[in-house]
Amino acid sequence: MAEHAHAESLALREQFDTAEQQKESSTFGMWIFLITEVMFFGGLFLAYTIYRNTYPTVFGMASTSLNAVIGALNTAVLLCSSFTMVMAVRAAQLGKRKAIIVFLILTLLLGLVFLGVKAYEWNEKYVEHHIPGASFHFEGTAQQGPAQLFFSLYFAMTGLHALHMVIGAGILCWLLYHAARGRFTAEYMTPVDIAGLYWHFVDIIWIFLFPLLYLIDRHMK
């Protein structure tokens, strides 16, 4: 076996020279992943921009049929979850195990509230026949095709975002399990830090989805 330059630990694996280098590598790796996610969601934002520009009237009508107040409240819920997440990361930096657990649980709960509200909104679409498909019907326009297009994009974008939230909730559970076992210390809290980056990124996606889907055509009504 190769000679160990240093004793191995969670904070300092064999292949790294210093703990600082390992931390930087992990953080950078997460950012690279998030950049691919920017392009992933970017494609949907692009499709939305093009079709909104092609069918401005119908997209405006469809957009204003969404409930902006619920959307705004849900945005607030998500921003609160980002706050509790950053507080969990801070607690991890300081090595406060109990505080990590409390803030992670709060983040998880807020994330689940967001998903619950989202499910309520989707159910509303079902009741209103606004789900693209055979029974789709959007009142007040003859252009059913473009209206379906809006709701297809709405479900694709909010659905993909919700999927990221579900994955995020899974990651939070994993973190909670390990935090409860005292795995994270002030010296080694990279998983908490990196999960935080992911969680905030998903928040940023919603920060753009909310005005683009719910708000920008509201003044026309």
Partner 1 sequence: MSEHVDSVKTYTAVWLILLVLTGVTTAVAYIDLGAFSIVVALVIAAVKMLLVALFFMHMRHSTSLTKLAAAGAFLWLFFMLAFTLADVWTRGLVGTPGR
Contacts 24+ apart (CB under 8 A), 180-184: 180/101, 182/97, 183/10, 184/92, 184/95, 184/97, 184/100
Judged by CB under 8 A, does residue 163 bind partner 1?
no
Assign 97 to helix, strand or coil.
helix
CB closer to partner 1, 74 vs 131:
74
Instruction: Write the interaction track for partner 1 spanning residues 124-153; mark x where CB under 8 A is met and - where it is not.
Output: ------------------------------
Q: Should residue 167 be labelled a site residue for partner 1 when binding is judged by CB under 8 A?
A: no
Footprint on residues 63-92 left by partner 1 (CB under 8 A):
68-69, 71-72, 75-76, 79-80, 82-83, 85-87, 90
In whole angstroms, the minimum distance from the beta carbon of 68 to partner 1 comes to 6
Closest distance of CB 113 from partner 1, Å: 15
**98 contacts partner 1 (rule: CB under 8 A):** no
The token pair at 176 is 């909670």
Query: Is 185 an interacting residue with respect to partner 1 (CB under 8 A)?
Result: no
Distance CA 62, CA 221 (A): 11
99 binds partner 1 (CB under 8 A): no
- What is the nearest approach in angstroms of partner 1 to the Cβ of residue 86? 5
User: Closest CB to partner 1 among 88 and 131?
Assistant: 88
Is the distance from CB of 157 to CB of 209 less than 8 angstroms? yes
* C-alpha angle 115-70-127 in degrees, rounded to nearest 5: 75
Contact map string, positions 28 to 57, toward partner 1, x by CB under 8 A: x--xx-xx--xx--xx-xx--xx--x----
> What's the length of the chain?
221
Asked if 2 touches partner 1 (CB under 8 A), the answer is: no
93 binds partner 1 (CB under 8 A): yes
CA distance 157 to 118: 12
Q: Looking at the chain, list the stretches that DSSP marks H as alpha helix, in order from N- to C-terminal side.
A: 19-54, 56-64, 68-93, 97-127, 144-180, 190-210
Nearest partner of 48 among 215, 219, 212, 220, judged by Cα:
212
Start-to-end CA distance of the chain, whole Å, equals 72
Residues at the contact surface with partner 1, assessed by CB under 8 A: 20, 23-24, 27-28, 31-32, 34-35, 38-39, 42-43, 45-46, 49-50, 53, 68-69, 71-72, 75-76, 79-80, 82-83, 85-87, 90, 93-94, 196-197, 200-201, 203-204, 207-208, 210-212, 214-216, 218-220
